[in-house]
Each structure stands twice: as structure tokens, then as C-alpha cells.
Amino acid sequence: MGAQIAAHFANAGVPALLLDVTADAAKQGLQRARALKPDPFFTPDALKLISTGSFDADLARIAASDWIIEAVVERLDIKRGLLAKVDAVRRPGSIVSSNTSGIPIAALAEGRSDDFRKHWLGTHFFNPPRYLHLLEIIPTPDTDEAVVHAVAHFADHRLGKGVVIAKDSPGFIGNHIAMYGMVQILARVAAGEYTIDEVDAITGPPLGRPKSATFRTLDIAGLDIVGHVVDDLRNRLPDSDSKDTWTVPAFVRRMLERGLTGEKAGQGFYKRVKNAQGESEILTLDPVTLEYRPQQRPKLPSLEASASIGDARERVRTLFQGKDRVGQFLRDTMAPALAYTAKVTPDIAESPDDVDRVMRWGFGWGLGPFELIDAIGLEGVARSGRTGDLPPAAADLLILKSAKDRERVVKKNAGASLVDLGDGVLCVEFHSKMNAIGGDTIQMLQAGVREASQNFAALVVGNEAPNFSAGANLMLVLLEAQEENWDEIELMIRAFQQATMALRYSDVPVVVAPAGLTLGGGCEMSLHADRVQAAAETYMGLVEAGVGLIPAGGGTKEMVARAAEGMPAGTTDFLPPIQRAFETIAFARASTSAADAQRLGYLRPIDGITMNSERLLHDAKARALQRVEEGYAAPAPRLAIPVGGDTVLAPLKLGIHLAWRAGRISEHDVLIARTLATIMAGGTLPHASTVTEQQLLDLEREAFLKLLGERKTQERIQHTLKTGKPLRN
């Protein structure tokens, strides 16, 4: 965990020193972190910001550190012993914190110097720290308020964390609440009332929670860790009935005795094996025999029926009130967990809203406990002083929601809206399913550019959904192709090209603010912005080749132009930069972070990155206003983009042929790659020349239509829509 925390500091550009019992142990910890999936590093280059050493030889080096984080084994005596050594060598005024998941923070600082205790607090990073938004900060009565503020501000703005101040109570907020709900569920499974497969079917997406649900999450966390946390809560909580409440069932104790601790042991509640056909298969544990059996799809009709309910509150309420096994399960487990949460909130948190934030940010719940109480309408559940409405958010958090709450929607249709963000900045917000791009979206993009040019100083394109845009509405494209409505498809492509070009040549600065999935057309919008302000966790890519197509919303054109503009002065060898861009598109490469998107060429060095996605639109708005202050002027049209002609096309085609001969690509892959190569060479030109942007756009559009008419491309699109995976035919 210490290595992963160091990795995230490095992601934020902060140099980190990682110490362990030995220098080799520190290096090995870093190597293990580097091998984790998903990767804790934005890019491999971040690793360079971390140095390593040992407690014995290098502890004195922490005197140069501003913040010292202890993340050793969860034992009070070991932590205290190390902190005594830290106190002896740290610089006065430096901040010291513990990444404990539940040991009393005040107890850890007993015997330390006054300056140490003044600068001491708990900082509970949730695992994995790169991906889980939550950071619980736990001050003690001795902690200086300025220290709490400084750590919270740095963690929020620089590390991108959702910060919640927790009281120094057993398990703090998150583990306390989550473990209570978990022991309720385990008790029902131990009693034979529900199977593991049934529980995970109920407690995942139907409740607005991650697909890992209950038991997959326990496998990831490690059953030994969970057992330790429950035992700690049983021993430390003052409730007279805690001995009975905080107990894991006998079958879980037997699992621990046999080493069935979860993913790290290769087996826990689930186990992955190879079947007779050599295919990977997941088996489920039988809690009675502790043997594994094939997964069984639960027969719970109410779950299937509720899938059509889009509103999470209504869906959970419907399931909770159901007269079937699902409703009974939720009333037996969720109801007591929510009642318990309401009871203990004054002892563990500053407000009920903080409890909701902890469970959303740290555990991926769509609705926090008090939001669930409101949604379900549980009678007799105390609200612990909850006033009903969330307190006003910070001025730079979720500004789009704030603007809409103030009825600043200028115009809207089914796919997108124009929202006045204030200070002369207009926003185009998408709100289709997965923010897929269709006619409504394109129409509102064009309307946004016109409206901003006439009545605003700048335009931002962004939203506060988990994903910016999954790209074009493939179902619509496929249906039109199957109906052979080629004129309609061509008009659609032209309209999108016109929309992206309008973004590029807008009279006012355009800042696109991507986050999460930013694929296909979503990436093309970003490529045409004056500036991009991307969330750190942005997964951006021109991925059309994966469904047998090429980018036709200006993406291919823009990558060609950027490759030409990036060539050193006086260089005439077009092949290296074009080949890099060609491979990026042909292999449908998507970034693993915004920093990785810069490496791939989707983002430029001048584009910005926001660590905390809830501040993304605030930062995008500020960037847009900065461009206004700098005296923004629309760029001149590109009338002469250098291209390589046959000097680029011939070697690209040779590489494609060799890949086919080696069996690495199919014949249809060859067709797609040759089509793409022709565009990136500027067409079938005998030698290096120049082309206009419109010529490249025409080549894109014609190629898209040609490939879409291919049966194998339509098969790829159909397969992807059905399975979510690419087809290699």
C-alpha cells in the first residue's frame, strides 16, 4: 500500500521517498505495485519520481520531506516504535500521518513530542489509491487546524481526492459502516438463506454499486484483512451487544484456516480455473462444504424487471418493497444496516452527508446510506440531525449541477443542453446514454458554437457524468447501413465534421473537458478544441478501427496535421511521425490516463490535467477565461498541410503486407489499414505535397462510407454491440 501511495504522489508530479525494512524490500514493493492491474502509475515515467531506501540506513532522509506517511503493518506496537524513530529525525513543522484503517490515531502519537502531535493526523487512503476517490482525514485533539486544512487542500487539489474529515473512532467512517452491512449479509449466507451467487446478483449494479458487489469485493480486499477489521471493531466498540454483532460466521473462520483469503491466494469466495476446453472459468465456493462449483445464474425475476428502471432511487425502492426473495433480503440486511448507520453517525462523522460521501467515494455506492433512507422512505430510522438538503458545495465543485439548479439552461434537446456557467462562459453538456453522439448531440454542438459566438465570451464542452463520450451511436450507424441509407449516413458524417471544425475555428475560445471514456467522436472533439482540460483519469482514443472503420469526424485529419506540425524544421522525412500516428489509430490505442494521452498525441503539452474530476469544469471554465484574457483569436485555416504521398504510403503498405504474411492481421484488417494509410499519406499522390483540411476530411468521409458498406465491418459492429468486445474476422 505504501508503494501505491508513493505511486499516486508521483502521478501528481510530487517526488516521493519510499522506505521499507530493507532497501531491497522497498524496491520489490515498488515492482509489485508496478505489476498490479490496473496500473497504479499514470505513465511509466512517473516511476522516476520515486526513490527507495531502508529504515536503518535512510530514515534521516525524511528530514527533507514535507509530509511523512507511515503505512506499515497494522499493529500498534510496531507503528509506535517506528514513529518514535521518525520523531527523532523529522524536521520540525513537517506533517506526519498514519495510513491505518482503524487503529486509534491519538493512541499512535502517545509519547511523541509536542511539535509531532501538533502536526500529526490519520490519512486513510482507500485501496487502490489511484482509483478510489476517498481520503479519510482523522485529526486528534492536538492536531493544529491549519495542518488539517493544508493536508485537505493538497489532497483535494493536487492528489485529486475526495476528502472527508472523520472522527477518531474504531474503523473511522467507511470501514465501520461497510463492515456492519457485510456481517449482516454473511449471517444470511451462513444460515443457508441465500447463495453467494444470489447475494452478488442483488448487491451490485441493481443497487447502484460496483459489479464486484459483496463477495468479489471481499476477495479483492482479502478475507484476512476483513477478518482483522471485524475483530478490531468487536474489541474496541463500546456497544454491549458488539460481541454478538461483530462476529464472522464459522465458515469464514474455516476459510481463513485453509488460506482461502481471496484474490491474492488465488481462491476465496471465487476461484478461476481452466475448464476441459482450456477456457477460463470462475467457480463459486459452497459455504457448507468449502468446495467450488460452477457459477449458477440466480433466478430472481425482480432484478431483471428492475433493470428498466433508470432512476436509482426508484429502482432501489422498488426492489426493497418487493414481496420476493430480493425484497426480503434487502429488508433483512439493508434495513438494519441503515438504522445502525443513523444511530452511530454522530459518533463517527461530522455530518450525515459526510457518511454518504464516504460510501460513494470509497466503496462506489451510487447512493449513500442517508440517500438510501430518503429513497426507501424507511419509517422510524432517525436521521441524526440531517436537514434534507446537501450543504452548499465548494464554489469550484460540480459547477454544472449548480448552474442547472439555478435554472441556467439556455437550450436543450434529448441528447445535449446548453448551460450558462456564468462569467460569460457557455457549456455544451451531453446527456444521452453513455453520452453517445447522435444527431441531437451534433445539433447542440453547432448551436453551442453559434450561441457562444453571439452572446458569450467562451465555450466549454463537458459534463459531470463518469464518461465524457463513448463515441458515435453505433446502433444508429449500423441500422442505417443495413437499410443502405448511404445519403443519410454521409449527411451525418458531414454534419459531425462541420461541428468539430466549428469548434476549431470558433470566434470564441473552446475548451473541451473530457473525463473517463473519451472514445471515437469524443476524442475527435477534444482534438479540435483550442485547449483541452482533461481529468487525470481520461481514457481517450480513436478506436474506430476496432469495429472496422476509421475516424471520420476530423480525427484522422487532425492526427496527420499534428504529425506534420511536430516535424523538426527542415526535416523532409514524413514517415516516422506519420507511422506513429498511423499505428495509434490502426491499433485503436486508448490512453490509460490523461498523461498517457499526451504520450499518444491525443493531448498536447499545452493542454491541462485536473486531478480531482469534480473540479474539472471549474478548471475548464478558468482556462477558457484565461484564453479570453490572453486575447484569443481564431486560428487561420490550414490550406497547406504537408503530406508524404507515396513516400509514406509505400512503406506503410509494406508493413501491412508483412503483418498479414506473419498472420498477425486478417484480410479485413489489411483493407482497413490500407484505407487508413492512404488518407494519412494525403491520398494517392506520387510524391510529397500539401493538401487542405477539406481534402483530408473528404478522404475520411469516403473511406468511412466504403468500409461501412463491407459485410465484415457490419459483422464487427454487430459483435461489439452485442458483446462489448472486438471481433477479428
| Assigned domain for 391 exists | no
| pLDDT per residue as tens digits for the range 48-104 | 999 999 999 999 999 999 999 999 998 999 999 999 999 999 999 999 999 998 899
361 plus 331 within the same structural domain: yes
| Assigned domain for 394 exists | no
Last residue of a domain, one of 343, 376, 409: 376
d(Cα 398, Cα 162) in Å, to the nearest integer?
Answer: 12
555 plus 592 within the same structural domain: yes
Band of pLDDT at residue 381, cut at 50, 70 and 90: low
DSSP structure string for 277-332: TS-EEEEEE-TTT--EEE------HHHHHHTT---HHHHHHHHHH-SSHHHHHHHH
d(Cα 268, Cα 285) in Å, to the nearest integer?
Answer: 7
| Assigned domain for 190 exists | yes
| pLDDT per residue as tens digits for the range 286-298 | 999 999 999 999 9
d(Cα 235, Cα 279) in Å, to the nearest integer?
Answer: 45
Q: Nearest Cα to 186, choosing from 295, 287, 258? A: 287
> Which residues share a beta bridge with 643?
689
DSSP structure string for 628-684: HHTT--PPPP---EEE-THHHHHHHHHHHHHHHHTTSS-HHHHHHHHHHHHHHTTSS
Answer yes or no: are the C-beta atoms of 582 and 679 closer than 8 Å. Answer: no
Sign of the Cα torsion 559, 562, 567, 571 reads: positive
489 plus 565 within the same structural domain: yes
| Sheet of 134-139, strands arranged across | 67-70, 95-98, 120-125, 134-139, 162-165
Band of pLDDT at residue 240, cut at 50, 70 and 90: low
In sequence order, the 6+-apart residues with CB closer than 8 A to the CB of 314 are 375
Q: Nearest Cα to 233, choosing from 182, 165, 164, 280? A: 182
d(Cα 351, Cα 341) in Å, to the nearest integer?
Answer: 12
pLDDT above 70 (res 412): yes
DSSP state of 259: T
Sign of the Cα torsion 484, 486, 491, 493 reads: positive
Question: What is the residue type of 601?
Answer: G
d(Cα 315, Cα 304) in Å, to the nearest integer?
Answer: 11
The CATH number for 538's domain is 3.90.226.10
Question: How confident is the model at residue 399, as a pLDDT?
Answer: 66
| From 195-204, 316-325, 403-412, 467-476, the region with the lowest mean pLDDT | 403-412
Enclosing H/E stretch for 347: helix 325-348
Q: Which three cell numbers stand for residue 155?
A: 489532497
pLDDT above 60 (res 382): no
DSSP state of 414: S
| Assigned domain for 390 exists | no
Last residue of a domain, one of 111, 132, 165: 165
- Other CB atoms within 10 Å distance of the CB of residue 63: 12
d(Cα 656, Cα 660) in Å, to the nearest integer?
Answer: 6
| pLDDT per residue as tens digits for the range 321-353 | 999 999 999 999 999 999 999 999 999 999 999
Residue whose grid cell is 501538533: 118
The CATH number for 342's domain is 1.10.1040.50
| Assigned domain for 423 exists | yes
Phi and psi at residue 50, in whole multiples of 5°? -110, 125
Question: How confident is the model at residue 392, as a pLDDT?
Answer: 41
Q: Nearest Cα to 335, choosing from 381, 275, 285? A: 381
Query: In this structure, which long-range contacts are made by residues 569-574, counting pairs with CB atoms below 8 Å and at least 24 apart in sequence?
Result: 572/688, 574/642, 574/643, 574/644, 574/647, 574/648, 574/688
Question: What is the residue type of 38?
Answer: P
Q: pTM for this one?
A: 0.91
| From 156-165, 228-237, 478-487, 664-673, the region with the lowest mean pLDDT | 228-237
467 plus 345 within the same structural domain: no
Mean pLDDT of 445-449: 97
509 plus 655 within the same structural domain: yes
d(Cα 154, Cα 140) in Å, to the nearest integer?
Answer: 19
Give the count of alpha carbons within 13 A of 713, CB side only.
Answer: 23
| From 232-246, 503-517, 596-610, the region with the lowest mean pLDDT | 232-246
Go through 387-426 and write b for each residue having 16 or more CB atoms within 10 A of its CB, e for each that does not: eeeeeeeeebbbbbebbbeeebebebeebbbbbbbeebbb
d(Cα 645, Cα 650) in Å, to the nearest integer?
Answer: 9
pLDDT above 90 (res 366): yes
Band of pLDDT at residue 379, cut at 50, 70 and 90: low
Overall domain count for the chain: 3
Q: Cis omega before residue 298 (within 30°)?
A: no
Band of pLDDT at residue 390, cut at 50, 70 and 90: very low
Task: Round the average pLDDT of the chain to a whole number and report it.
Answer: 94
528 plus 413 within the same structural domain: yes
Answer yes or no: are the C-beta atoms of 434 and 470 closer than 8 Å. Answer: yes
pLDDT above 60 (res 457): yes
| Assigned domain for 723 exists | no
Question: What is the residue type of 266?
Answer: G
Question: How confident is the model at residue 393, as a pLDDT?
Answer: 43
Enclosing H/E stretch for 123: strand 120-125
434 plus 451 within the same structural domain: yes
Q: Nearest Cα to 92, choosing from 66, 74, 56? A: 66
| Assigned domain for 607 exists | yes
Q: Nearest Cα to 531, choosing from 460, 594, 611? A: 460
356 plus 456 within the same structural domain: no
| From 103-112, 404-413, 493-502, 561-570, the region with the lowest mean pLDDT | 404-413
| Assigned domain for 724 exists | no
Question: How confident is the model at residue 608, as a pLDDT?
Answer: 98
Band of pLDDT at residue 278, cut at 50, 70 and 90: confident
369 plus 405 within the same structural domain: no
The CATH number for 6's domain is 3.40.50.720
Answer yes or no: are the C-beta atoms of 297 and 197 closer than 8 Å. Answer: yes
In sequence order, the 6+-apart residues with CB closer than 8 A to the CB of 364 are 209, 210
Q: Nearest Cα to 704, choosing from 581, 532, 524? A: 524
State the greatest distance between any 2 C-alpha atoms of the chain, in Å, as a whole number: 87
631 plus 549 within the same structural domain: yes
Last residue of a domain, one of 123, 138, 165: 165
- Other CB atoms within 10 Å distance of the CB of residue 377: 10
Q: Which three cell numbers stand for residue 477?
A: 450507424
**Structural domain range at position 597:** 399-717
Question: How confident is the model at residue 472, as a pLDDT?
Answer: 94
107 plus 215 within the same structural domain: no
Go through 14-34 and write b for each residue having 16 or more CB atoms within 10 A of its CB, e for each that does not: bebbbbbeebeebbebbeebe
Question: How confident is the model at residue 34, as a pLDDT?
Answer: 92
Question: What is the residue type of 508?
Answer: V
